Amino acid sequence: MGVRVAVAGASGYAGGELLRLIGAHPDLELGPVTAHASAGAAVTDLHPHLASLSGLTFEPTEPARLATADLVFMALQPEDSAAIAAQLPDGVAVIDLSASFRLADPGDWAAFYSGPHAGRWVYGLPELPGARDRIRAARQVAAPGCYATAVILALAPLLAAGLASPADIVAVAASGTSGAGRTPRPGLVATEIMGAMSAYQVGGVHRHTPEIEQALGEATGTRPAVSFTPLLAPMPRGILATCTARLATQAADPATAGPDPRAVLAEAYAGEPFVRVLPAGQWPSTAATLGGNTVHLQAAADTRAGRVVVVAAEDNLVKGAAGQAVQIANLMLGLPEGAGLAVNGVAP
């Protein structure tokens, strides 16, 4: 018998990806699968690719039913996650994929979200210094946001090494449409998306901005200021983030031959199963990460402009959401960290 897990919010894209990964996991047993509006519908009505779950239906999202599992994945809206979490018994482990428990500062929460601040859980980005020990010891973990995962992993080692300045960080990231969720919206229909890219939530108002600043600051002992601009790309999956920061004075001077930013990343992530620093001259592509729980990174120093450039690619539904949640669950449950997760992507 495996560890019994429940998925709340299983009708959405991240929830469906959780079902796919749990179905192939050697140590997890799928328990309650819940939804709100889709309760009573067949799982394969919304996720026809999950043929192994034929005959299974979505149940209503009731805390008592979720509590029959050993661990609950919550792929819900923030206000719903906070309400459900408050009703689960202390003995049930919980991983929340929403933003409900990511932010420490109630002021940041009030500036970017509605409703009361629910508090903060352990932040579940395993590749950050000391994070694995905190995750293993926790019963409640907040999974990072998809954009935040890419930007934080791209920049944290460079800030920690003093190669980049935290005072002037710019991140521009393009995401596939699945990042916007499953709820129909006029701006997400195929007629509007095909052949077009567009920016949204410009000017420092995207909800992942305070999360990125908080995690980078805590991991590197700095006070970062991040200008983050998201783009909507005409593809279902993937994130490509281009992150730049001003080079520290010595590194910006070609005569001093400062540290190679790629070498700094390679050293920081040596041995990490789910972060790949690409060979020199090779740049990340979203296609190479599809289906895998891996972030691809590459970096270069633009000494003419005095900036370091890091490009990160990931599958927003895997390492950016469901895959990372399973990685967290493996750590919490004492299982091999990579159980049920693919390093390789799917191509073409």
Answer with the residue of higher pLDDT: 37 or 262.
262
Would you say residue 251 has pLDDT above 80? no
| Intervals of CATH 3.30.360.10 along the chain | 147-316
* Helix-helix angle 261-268:146-160, to 10 degrees: 110
Q: What is the rounded average pLDDT of the residues 148-162?
A: 97
Which pLDDT does position 348 carry in this prediction? Answer: 86
Q: How confident is the model at residue 254 (pLDDT cuts 50, 70, 90)?
A: low
With b for 16 or more beta-carbon neighbours within 10 A and e for fewer, the 75-85 pattern comes to: bbbbebbbbbb
pLDDT of residue 179: 87
116, pLDDT greater than 90: yes
pLDDT for position 257: 52
| pLDDT of res. 182 | 78
Mean predicted lDDT score pLDDT of the chain: 94
Provide the pLDDT for residue 225: 96
Residue 62 confidence class, pLDDT cut points 50, 70, 90: very high
Q: What are the backbone dihedrals phi and psi of residue 207, each rounded to the nearest 5 degrees, phi first?
A: -65, -20
Look at the domain 3-144+319-332 and name its fold. Answer: Rossmann fold (3.40.50)
Rounded average pLDDT over 214-228: 96
Q: Which tokens go with 294?
A: 């891996």
The CATH 3.40.50.720 portion of the chain extends over: 3-144+319-332
- pLDDT higher than threshold 80 for residue 335: yes
Fold of 147-316: Dihydrodipicolinate Reductase; domain 2 (3.30.360)
Which residues are marked as active site? 146
